[in-house]
Amino acid sequence: MAAYEPFSGMSIGPLFVAGPTRDYYRQLLCEFTDIDARSVLDARIAETGLSLFAELLYSDTSSTLDDSPETSPENNTSVILYGNNGGTRFLFTADAGVGALTRVVAAYQAGSFSNLEWFQLPHHGSRRNVNQFLVDHFCPKLAYVSADGSLKHPRRAVVNAFKAKGTHVFSTHYPQATNLWYHSGVVPARPDYGLATSLWNAQQAA
């Protein structure tokens, strides 16, 4: 499947390490202590935070994402895991950003990660970790996010961008903080887990 050697170059049970590459990982390590580069990055991240106020004015319809949002080098070193369970394809992104995710898309055979069945929104649904290209490419049927329901996590613009592609997006905070149950195949019932309701659709499910 791989057209390049991933960071670990191995599978972990049913999961395959899709990134980062060794070279990209080493490059990011150098950026950890590059004070000048970090100062520039911090300034850019602060600037993008101002867009939150504009987004709130159109919170019900906003789906505009930055083309090249900034993500810290620490987050981009996140291990990206791919799994295929009986034809159901999963992608776990941890805190990876656009730089890391775009490299994974480019490195593998065309369509390897497109039109996924299940996708984890990176970094609690932050707007700094995805762009429209990635939304269009992954285009998952289901997307899950671990978030506290703040203004930033998950960002409504991120959720709406995926919903515009027909994705059902779920968050651990919605409609109330609880454990969500998603299973593939034959899995025993979990009494401490509840059925998931896609974001902004609690009234429809009532």
pLDDT digits (tens, 9 = 90+) for 47-67: 655 555 555 555 555 567 988
pLDDT of residue 127: 92
Look at residue 8 and tell me whether its pLDDT is greater than 70: no
Task: Name the DSSP letter for residue 168.
Answer: E
Domain presence at residue 143: yes
Query: What is the rounded distance in angstroms from the CA atom of residue 93 to the CA atom of residue 90?
Result: 10
pLDDT of residue 31: 87
Domain presence at residue 103: yes
pLDDT of residue 43: 66
pLDDT of residue 47: 60
Domain presence at residue 61: yes
Among the residue ranges 27-36, 91-100, 110-119, 153-162, the one predicted with the least confidence is: 27-36
Domain presence at residue 6: no
pLDDT of residue 70: 85
Domain presence at residue 148: yes
Angle at 25 between CA 94 and CA 152, to 5 degrees: 35
Report how many domains make up the chain: 1
Mean pLDDT in the chain?
A: 82
pLDDT of residue 37: 64
Domain presence at residue 2: no
pLDDT of residue 4: 45
Domain presence at residue 5: no
pLDDT of residue 3: 46
Domain presence at residue 1: no
The residue segments making up the domain with residue 177 are: 11-205
What is the largest distance, in Å, between two alpha-carbon atoms of the chain? 52
What is the average pLDDT across 171-182? 77
What is the average pLDDT across 73-84? 93
Q: Note whether 152 and 73 are within 8 A (CB).
A: no
